[in-house]
Structure 1
């Protein structure tokens, strides 16, 4: 029998996932640059090629990969009703942040995601970092894991592409080309995360982590991270 991960997506499921994991869903993602603002200010990311390379590193070796694994773990915990495991994953997600701004980024977006679901009468979730909130909500709603991972990764990446388009700056078409070129990597990260456990979490996106720390002392800041 097909699992929720493998089953074909019906219209209602597709609409729910694309609504939850859309830039229009009010998590406040537009206010956070994940350290990209510091990279642009320092001149380390100055064009489309640089932005694409930076995003690829974050997706494959940084928060993109780790958050996807956290989503998968939270999805499985929610499906089995393991509240203790969800609490441990929330603590782990916070501990993985390299600095105060990145921890606040994850917590603030997760809390906003949970508040919006509750206000819409959909699901009640305790406030927790965003990847745990997304995984828990999708698991409790019976939404398939694979598409949840893909759409989360695209939403995360698209927000950062939009920041690059505005602040490097780049053209809108170049931004979309970068997003399209990263699609195979997103698929690979999602596929690996779907089968991963918390023991597989780890990364080496050191440059983006350092940039997020540098951002805390930028004299002029538009974004909160």
Structure 2
């Protein structure tokens, strides 16, 4: 395994201090309301977010960042695409934490950006294939949502890992498509997920930030 790939795996690890464990991307509301109650429901919810929601959207943004496109314009677009205040907070807070830590490790000037662009501006220097970076980033995103479900549904650890394993073919498919997608292909149809994020903002009892 190359040093660059090891570095990327480190950056996308749950141990990397972005605070990802504190965000559920609206999933907490769906669980609390009984819309997601078991492993099958978790798998379907996460798959839909990956295929139709911010998983695919962020992957396209990340692909363009890795190809050297205008990071300022892409960052503005990422902020505009956030469907709720909590989603904007989620991508900006994690992105700022990611940029600050990678800057401290690499000595590079990496300003805070929404998360997919923060990853893109740091990872572009690693020289790894675009599809590979997208796969690992999507996997980290899906793993964090599954981890939230393991804690809150609750699910067993093995059951959670089985869900994640079954999502691998979808992650590969989305990464391949996003790597070649024009920026105009960005669009979201995960309406229920967006509504969940909005309703989570006023949820009285909650564990997660989003």
SS of match in other structure, 1:37: helix
SS of match in other structure, 2:74: helix
Report the CA distance between 1:75 and its aligned residue.
0.7
Q: How many residues are treated as equivalent by the alignment?
A: 210
Report the CA distance between 1:197 and its aligned residue.
1.9
Matched, 1:148 2:139: no
Report the CA distance between 1:141 and its aligned residue.
3.1
1:175 is matched with which residue? 160
Matched, 1:51 2:24: no
Gaps of 5+ in 1: 1-9
1:186 is matched with which residue? 171
* TM-score with structure 1 setting the length: 0.91
Report the CA distance between 1:138 and its aligned residue.
1.2
- CA–CA separation in structure 2 for the residues paired with 1:104 and 1:139: 24
1:111 is matched with which residue? 96
Report the CA distance between 1:196 and its aligned residue.
1.0
4+ residue runs of structure 1 moved beyond 3 angstroms?
none
Which of 72, 79, 92 does residue 94 from structure 1 map onto? Answer: 79
SS of match in other structure, 1:120: helix
1:41 is matched with which residue? 32
- CA–CA separation in structure 1 for the residues paired with 2:108 and 2:102: 5
SS of match in other structure, 2:67: helix
Report the CA distance between 1:164 and its aligned residue.
0.4
Gaps of 5+ in 2: none
Which stretch shifts more, 112-121 or 43-52? 112-121
Report the CA distance between 1:144 and its aligned residue.
2.4
1:18 is matched with which residue? 9
Residues 15-63 of structure 1: CA distance to partner in whole angstroms, max 9, x if unpaired? 1111011111111101110000000010000000000000010000000
SS of match in other structure, 2:106: coil
